[in-house]
Homo-oligomer: A and B are copies of this chain.
Amino acid sequence: MLYTQEHQELQRSVKKFIETEINPHVDEWEDAEIFPAHALFKKMGDAGFLGINKPQAYGGMGLDYSFQLAFVEALGDVRCGGVPMAIGVQTDMATPALARFGSDELRREFLVPTIAGDRVCSIGVSEPGAGSDVASIKTFARKDGDDYVITGTKMWITSGTQSDWICLLANTSEGAAHKNKTLICVPMKSKGVSVAKKLKKLGMWSSDTAQLYFDEVRVPQRYRIGEEGMGFTYQMQQFQEERLFAAAQWTALDRILRETIAYTKERQAFGQSILDNQYVHFRLAELKTEIEALRALVHDAATKLVAGEDVTMLASMAKLKVGRLGREVADGCLQFWGGMGYVWESNVSRLFRDIRLSSIGGGADEVMLGIIAKYMGTLPRKA
């Protein structure tokens, strides 16, 4: 994938936005363990950043996925992982299915304000008893007249304490686990929705994460996305964007690598710069090599996504690799910062804590391996 001038211009404007509207506040948001999603997203919506590859009819730019990828990659400039993650929920995790399969009415009611930045959304898949095991979720939406009445618990919900609506995966019938699920837009102010607790995490502090409780929550059936029973399929498709979003955070690794080069170049020990140690510049070259391989893999997947191919396997591979490589890069770089890297406020220490989520959230490494094996035709039938 070779970016055009248009891609580069988009990235420039995103980066400028980050420098003025995000990075100056990151330390404060990290300390608060939350960022003001409504205020920030409104500004992003005004700038057009929240609907780059969404249909123009609903306020989007109507560009192809390569532009969305360019946007996501630019988010690597943000000096934390939490804010980009919440942005990703808004653009690539909770809304692709809605944009693709939602009715016109539903898209006007939920997608338009989300793209405009007037509403903050969450994605509700994981549950306390079913983290990576999507098929085994327990939340149930029974039909009552024209409504769904929803009961269940959702876990690890990004922006869960401040979002306006959630794209919720629920069982709408008994029967085969892959055919009994439905995606529903649920307003968070609905009666019966409560935040069971705000979770304290190792990293990703600027992003609020919640456990949500749904107790006989009533929403009209027209809030359903697409067809009933197709929720699992839609969500699997939506996971492609989610995983590519995660993998596109290679740019954050690259940023830390650059910062590490600058620091080790300046810092002196034993009569030379730290960077002049052969093990340092060799190790950084190794890490850069792997980052480039990940970048190439992401771009390859994006190229094929734009060409209309199913990139589930490639996206899962890229997601697996960003989690593992992320830990390696964070660890390797922090090591060269020494004590200065271990202090709380350093960017590299933040990446170290934030990136650990990549191998857990959005489907753990082991889940990715299962998916890849399935696409390779090597997964045993019963497993």
Q: Within the assembled complex, what's the spacing in Å between the Cα atoms of A383 and B281?
A: 11
A378 within 8 A of B: yes
Q: Are A293 and B281 in contact (CB-based, < 8 A)?
A: no
A18 within 8 A of B: no
A310 within 8 A of B: no
Partner of A373, one of B2, B282, B295: B282
Listed A/B pairs (16) with beta-carbon separation below 8 Å: A2-B303, A261-B378, A272-B380, A276-B383, A281-B373, A281-B379, A281-B380, A282-B370, A285-B372, A285-B378, A286-B320, A288-B372, A288-B376, A292-B300, A292-B317, A300-B300
Partner of A369, one of B285, B296, B304: B285
Q: Within the assembled complex, what's the spacing in Å between the Cα atoms of A292 and B368?
A: 15
Which 9 A/B pairs are nearest by Cβ-Cβ distance? Answer: A296-B296, A296-B300, A285-B372, A293-B293, A289-B317, A276-B380, A281-B378, A296-B297, A281-B373
A19 within 8 A of B: no
A314 within 8 A of B: yes
Partner of A293, one of B286, B317, B370, B383: B317
Copies in the complex: 2
Interface residues on A, range: 35 or more
- A321 and B289 in contact, given A296-B300, A378-B275 (Cβ under 8 angstroms): yes
* Chain B residues in 8 Å Cβ range of A321: 289-290, 293
Q: Within the assembled complex, what's the spacing in Å between the Cα atoms of A207 and B300?
A: 34
Q: Within the assembled complex, what's the spacing in Å between the Cα atoms of A294 and B321?
A: 12
Most chain B CB within a 10 A radius of its CB, from A272, A300, A307: A300
* Chain B residues in 8 Å Cβ range of A370: 282
Most chain B CB within a 10 A radius of its CB, from A282, A289, A369: A289
A186 within 8 A of B: no
A366 within 8 A of B: yes
Q: Are B285 and A292 in contact (CB-based, < 8 A)?
A: no
Most chain B CB within a 10 A radius of its CB, from A273, A278, A292, A296: A296
A284 within 8 A of B: yes
Q: Within the assembled complex, what's the spacing in Å between the Cα atoms of A296 and B250?
A: 15
Q: Are B292 and A378 in contact (CB-based, < 8 A)?
A: no
A42 within 8 A of B: no
